[in-house]
Structure 1
Amino acid sequence: MSAGEKAKAKAEQVVGKAVKKTAHAAGQNTTAAKGAALEARGEAREAKEKAKDTFTR
């Protein structure tokens, strides 16, 4: 996995988790859902990159 894509994936996961937990604590369900979506997008990006690495090698 390229270093740039790996960093993007981890950043999306961390930011998404932080937004989700903060919004949930504040009672903002819509923002919490957006944070969860961002976290899921980071996980999907990481899975995509791992799959690319598997088939490339």
Structure 2
Amino acid sequence: MDAKTSNIITMIAGVIFIGLGINNIIQGTQWWNYITFCIGIIIVALGAYGYKTGKRF
């Protein structure tokens, strides 16, 4: 698997995490729900950076 494909998969995983985080925030307001959302943003950012530079993080 090349770097671009792995970074696209990373970005998809990040979007899934963001979706889970938003769903958790809507369902309840525990502090750890926001951590899922933030982790998703970080994963998407890592994937986008890796895709732009052509490297794996």
Q: TM-score range by the shorter chain?
A: 0.5 to 0.7
Unaligned runs of 5+ in 1: none
Which 4+ runs in 1 deviate beyond 4 A?
none
Select the structure of larger CA radius of gyration: 1
Q: Using CA pairs under 8 Å that are at least 6 residues apart, name the structure with larger relative contact order, 1 or 2.
A: 2
More helix by share: 1
Question: What's the CA shift for 1:42?
Answer: 2.1
Unaligned runs of 5+ in 2: none
Query: Aligned residue pairs: how many?
Result: 52
1: distance between equivalents of 2:37 and 2:45?
12
Identity over aligned pairs, percent: 8
